[in-house]
Amino acid sequence: MTDDPPDTPAVLVSNRQGMPLDEGALVAAARDCLVAEGRAGVELSVSLVEEGEMADLHQRYMGEPGPTDVLSFPLGEEAGAGVVLLGDVVICPPFAEREVAGKGHPHDLDAELRLLVVHGILHLLGYGHDEEGERAEMWARQERYSGVRVP
């Protein structure tokens, strides 16, 4: 349980990787996104993992080899007192760092991590990007909540 006010989403962070990063900025981005989406009464888990753990999750749950930058695992379970356990957003900062450096992203790692946490949350809330129309909507929300534009 957290000491957050009832109108503030609870964001629990499990940092299981070694890179220094601003966890507070990720929590703030997650909360801003959830509140803007009308989901203030939820609890969200954010796991920050190394590439080996991410590769295992990616293979086990998506059937795809190797690590990736972000995965979302929805729960949607009632936790009592009106709190819903929304799910878990798993982010791999070392992979994201390589993506930013290797692909010439127009933003830094902190911005990329904010983008990834928002991206993961939007998936938990049912947004997708397989179709062009839904992709445009998701990308607009991502940019609004993370402050990061994806070309």
Question: Which domains can be identified in the chain, with CATH numbers?
Answer: 10-146 (3.40.390.30)
User: 142: pLDDT confidence band, cut at 50, 70 and 90?
Assistant: very high
pLDDT of residue 101: 84
pTM above 0.85?
yes
Radius of gyration for the chain, computed over Cα atoms and rounded to the nearest angstrom: 15
Q: Using one digit for the tens of pLDDT, what is the confidence trace for 52-100?
A: 999 999 999 999 999 999 999 999 766 666 678 899 999 999 999 998 8
Residue 58's alpha-carbon distances to 13, 43, 70, 74, 138, in angstroms, are 20, 23, 9, 15, 22
Minimal CA–CA distance to 41: which of 92, 78, 96? Answer: 78
Identity at 140, one-letter amino acid code: A
The candidate with the shortest Cα–Cα distance to 44, out of 36, 53, 56, 33, is 33
